[in-house]
Amino acid sequence: MARVLERIGYAIDFPEAQTCCGQPGFNSGYWREARALAERFVGVFRDADFVVCPSGSCTTMVRVFYKELLEGAAREAATNLSSRVFEFSEFLVKVAKITDVGANFPHRVTYHDACHALRELHLRDEPRELLRHVKNLELVEMPYSEECCGFGGTFSTKFPMISAAMGETKAANAGAANVEYVTSTDPSCLMHIDGILRSRKSAVRTIHLASILAQSELSDGNTSPAVTKNSP
């Protein structure tokens, strides 16, 4: 993600103070613990022009759920930050207004609609637009692409059989689409789908959307000369 952003002309900082947005605790009902992390997160990123995140679920946590979790001044600060927090594909298409990042990925690929990105951030077209502009990439839709893969955070360890069954259905649908890769905006979905695919000895692999977009025509992975732009 960092490579792509630099390639299109953004200056990036990775504040090392960051740890976790607090979602695992929040989703498990430990709102007091999560609250502490949320307040910390807002502090760490307070002065950023933009916060870009390669995960729909973390982005959702900040933009949608911090409002429910925090109160008073913390809530105000979070709401203020929210307008500057974006999922990666969303940032490219809606903020940077770029759909072609100069990527090249000569493979048959299908897109899995990660739940938070789809239903909380309302991203359906943006990732697909980006993929359509990748040279030599053949984008194919798989059946039930919008159905949950079954990861759900601690759900996968509390109810492993249900989670695995949901993952199997996702893996089977990817297989039915006859693709080489499944991609998505969310690393957690991909990790789950990947584990299921490999346990079924499937030839289908997973790859994060950012990794596809980072693949350029220069074979050694170096970024092409950056178009210098003042960081907006």
Partner 1 sequence: MSTPAKEFLHSAAVKSADLAHRSTIRTGIDHYEAAVMRTGARFLDWEAAREQCRAVKWEAVNHLDKYLLEFESRVQDRGGHVFWAETAADARRYISELAARKDVRTVVKSKSMVSEEIDLRQDLEKQGVKVFETDLGELIVQLRDEPPYHLMTPAMHLTRTEIADLFREKYGGVESNDPQHLVDIARRALRDAFFSAEMGITGANFLVADSGMVALTTNEGNGRLGSSLPRIHVVVTGIEKVIPRMQDLAVLWPTLARSAVGQSIACYNTLIGGPRNAKEADGPEEFHVVLLDNGRSELLADAEQREVLHCIRCGACLNVCPVFRKIGGHSYGTVYGGPIGSVLMPHLGGLNKFQHLSFASSLCGACTEACPVKIDLHHHLLQNRRNAVESAERPFGERLAFKLWRWMMMAPKRFAVLGGAARAGLRAVHALGLEGTRLDPLRPWTKTHAPPAIPAESFRSQWRKIATK
Chain residues in the site for partner 1 (CB under 8 A): 2, 14, 16-20, 22, 24-31, 33-34, 36-37, 40, 68, 115-116, 119-120, 146-148, 150-153, 155-167, 169, 191-192, 194-199
Nearest approach, Cβ of 99 to partner 1 (angstroms)? 26
Quick check: 215 and 137 in contact, CB under 8 A? Answer: no
Nearer to partner 1, 34 or 103 (CB): 34
Amino acid, res. 9:
G
Nearer to partner 1, 16 or 97 (CB): 16
Nearer to partner 1, 75 or 119 (CB): 119
Nearest approach, Cβ of 169 to partner 1 (angstroms)? 8
Nearest approach, Cβ of 22 to partner 1 (angstroms)? 8
Nearest approach, Cβ of 4 to partner 1 (angstroms)? 14
Residue 100 β-bridge partners: none
Structure tokens at 213: 């977009």
Distance between CA atoms of 176 and 140, rounded to whole angstroms? 11
Q: Coil, strand or helix: which one is 51?
A: strand
Report strand pairing: 51-53 vs 138-140: unpaired
Amino acid, res. 46:
R
Phi, psi of 199 (to 5 degrees): -70, -20
Nearer to partner 1, 146 or 217 (CB): 146
Residue that the structure tokens 């949950």 belong to: 148
Report the alpha-carbon angle 19-63-190, nearest 5.
65
Nearer to partner 1, 82 or 99 (CB): 82
Q: Alpha helix locations (H) across the chain?
A: 2-7, 23-27, 31-45, 56-60, 66-69, 72-82, 88-90, 115, 125-132, 155-158, 160-176, 187-199, 209-214
Nearest approach, Cβ of 144 to partner 1 (angstroms)? 9
Nearest approach, Cβ of 136 to partner 1 (angstroms)? 25
Nearer to partner 1, 165 or 226 (CB): 165
